[in-house]
């Protein structure tokens, strides 16, 4: 099955979920969401969204500067690559929160003349910082929802706690191994009976182990660069959380911290649901979280659509940069072919 086919299937699934949720709350919610988005309140939501994107750019620039040993000034124009990569991730991959990393690594490699090891390592490290904080917020939010509402069965609560606990264990184990400068990948290989030498001698095995070495060196809890990097992500997700708080306040007139955390945590799940832009999944989690908390389901739908609209603003900016980058790369290839023909 090709990637385009998978993306198309994911889009169709998301569209069906979206249509189903809209039938529940009514199509007039689309107009209400658009009116809110085009108001001053919507401008606040878009403004916070843009700030979080700029923080992500600064974080990636910081990671690249440390990996390459060069100053951050070398990586001017990195924002264009970030926004272009965001567009690919959010709209052109099956999951809204993941999938565009290979393109970002390729673009940064081409623009700054890096080798694959440094370009891939920078992208993976930057994303690990985000995944760590994202997971903590999501786990905390879901647990708050489960225990705050008391509407789910004990079996569902047990399953959710187990899955969240397992995810937390994986994160803790990864950082524990990094702290001891030990390879998690080698540990897994030994667990399944595969020798390290077999990976090193494979075509791409050596570079994978080298990238993991970069991760271990960068993500050590003893180093200031780790805490600075994680601080960027923490600031970014605190602002995203505040974005959700403001939007709930605009929709309901009041908001409790536990409510905001619950809604934010549950709607985060839409980013790992296999539909582009969280189509359908964001509406479904919005409706569920608002309903469970005793709030208006329709407001949950508007909440989801306004958030998506704000993210799509980033995609529109990224789309312009994506076209520009594609033209630049294509132009370089064409001029390279012309130069070869002249020789």
Number of residues written out for the chain: 343
Separation in Å, CA 50 to CA 43, 47, 107, 133, 315 = 10, 5, 21, 19, 11
Residue spans per domain, the chain: 3-146+231-342
Q: Is the pLDDT of residue 108 over 90?
A: yes
Q: What does the alpha-carbon distance between residue 97 and residue 87 come to, in Å, rounded to a whole number?
A: 11
Half-sphere exposure of residue 95: CA atoms within 13 angstroms, side-chain side: 12
pLDDT in tens, 159-192: 666 777 777 788 788 788 777 777 777 777 677 7
Q: What does the alpha-carbon distance between residue 64 and residue 58 come to, in Å, rounded to a whole number?
A: 10
Residues of the chain with pLDDT > 70, as a percent, come to 87
Question: Of 125, 134, 91, whose CA–CA distance to 105 is shortest?
Answer: 125
Indicate the average pLDDT of the chain.
Answer: 84
Three-state DSSP string of 114-148 = CCHHHHHHHHHHHHHHHHHHHHHHHHHHHHHHHHH
Q: What does the alpha-carbon distance between residue 26 and residue 40 come to, in Å, rounded to a whole number?
A: 25
| Higher pLDDT pick, 152 / 89 | 89
pLDDT in tens, 304-331: 999 999 999 999 999 999 999 888 877 6
Q: Of 145-149, 173-177, 218-222, give the lowest mean pLDDT range.
A: 145-149
| Higher pLDDT pick, 236 / 177 | 236
Confidence label for 229 from pLDDT (cuts 50, 70 and 90): very high
| Higher pLDDT pick, 189 / 137 | 137
Q: Is the pLDDT of residue 141 over 50?
A: yes
Q: What does the alpha-carbon distance between residue 18 and residue 23 come to, in Å, rounded to a whole number?
A: 9
Q: Is the pLDDT of residue 1 over 70?
A: no
Q: Of 198-212, 219-233, 282-296, give the lowest mean pLDDT range.
A: 198-212
Q: Is the pLDDT of residue 244 over 60?
A: yes
Question: What phi and psi values does residue 34 have, to the nearest 5 degrees?
Answer: -65, -40
**Residue appearing with tokens 């509402």:** 149
Please list, in sequence order, all residues whose beta carbon lies within 8 angstroms of the beta carbon of residue 29, skipping any fewer than 6 positions away. 22, 298, 301, 302, 305
Q: What's the pLDDT score for residue 332?
A: 60
Helices marked H in the chain: 3-25, 28-37, 40-68, 78-91, 101-112, 116-149, 154-179, 184-191, 196-200, 205-218, 224-252, 257-268, 281-292, 297-342
Q: What does the alpha-carbon distance between residue 72 and residue 62 come to, in Å, rounded to a whole number?
A: 7
Q: CB–CB of 289/262 below 8 Å?
A: yes
* pTM confidence score: 0.88
Q: CB–CB of 303/263 below 8 Å?
A: yes
Residues of the chain with pLDDT > 90, as a percent, come to 39
Three-state DSSP string of 247-284 = HHHHHHCCCCHHHHHHHHHHHHHHHCCCCHHHCCHHHH
């Amino acid at each position: 099955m090709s990637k385009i086919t998978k993306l198309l299937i994911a889009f169709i699934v998301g569209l069906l979920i979206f249509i189903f949720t809209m039938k529940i709350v009514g199509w007039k919610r689309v107009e209400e969401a658009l009116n809110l988005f085009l108001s001053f309140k919507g401008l606040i939501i878009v403004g916070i969204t843009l700030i979080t994107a700029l923080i992500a750019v600064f974080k990636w620039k910081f990671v690249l500067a440390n990996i390459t040993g060069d100053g951050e000034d070398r990586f001017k124009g990195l924002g264009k690559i970030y926004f272009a990569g965001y567009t690919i991730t959010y709209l052109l991959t099956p999951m809204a929160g993941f999938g565009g990393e290979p393109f970002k690594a390729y673009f940064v490699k081409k623009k700054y003349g890096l080798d694959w090891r440094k370009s891939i390592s920078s992208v993976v490290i930057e994303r690990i910082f985000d995944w760590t904080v994202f997971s903590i917020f999501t786990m905390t939010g879901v647990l708050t929802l489960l225990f705050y509402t008391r509407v789910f069965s004990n079996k569902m609560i047990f399953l959710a706690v187990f899955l969240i606990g397992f995810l937390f264990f994986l994160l803790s184990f990864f950082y524990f191994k990094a702290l001891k400068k030990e390879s998690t990948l080698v540990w897994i290989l030994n667990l399944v009976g595969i020798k390290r030498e077999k990976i090193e001698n494979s075509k791409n095995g050596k570079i994978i182990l080298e990238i993991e070495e970069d991760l271990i060196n960068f993500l050590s809890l003893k180093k200031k660069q780790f805490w600075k990097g994680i601080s960027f992500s923490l600031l970014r997700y605190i602002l995203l959380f505040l974005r959700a708080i403001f939007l709930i306040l605009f929709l309901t007139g009041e908001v409790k911290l536990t409510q905001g955390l619950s809604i934010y945590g549950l709607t985060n799940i839409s980013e790992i649901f296999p539909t582009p832009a969280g189509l359908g999944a964001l509406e479904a989690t919005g409706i569920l979280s608002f309903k469970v908390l005793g709030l208006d389901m329709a407001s949950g739908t508007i909440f989801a659509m306004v958030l998506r609209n704000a993210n799509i603003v980033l995609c529109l900016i990224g789309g312009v940069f994506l076209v520009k980058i594609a033209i630049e790369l294509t132009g370089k290839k064409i001029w390279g072919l012309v130069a070869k023909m002249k020789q």
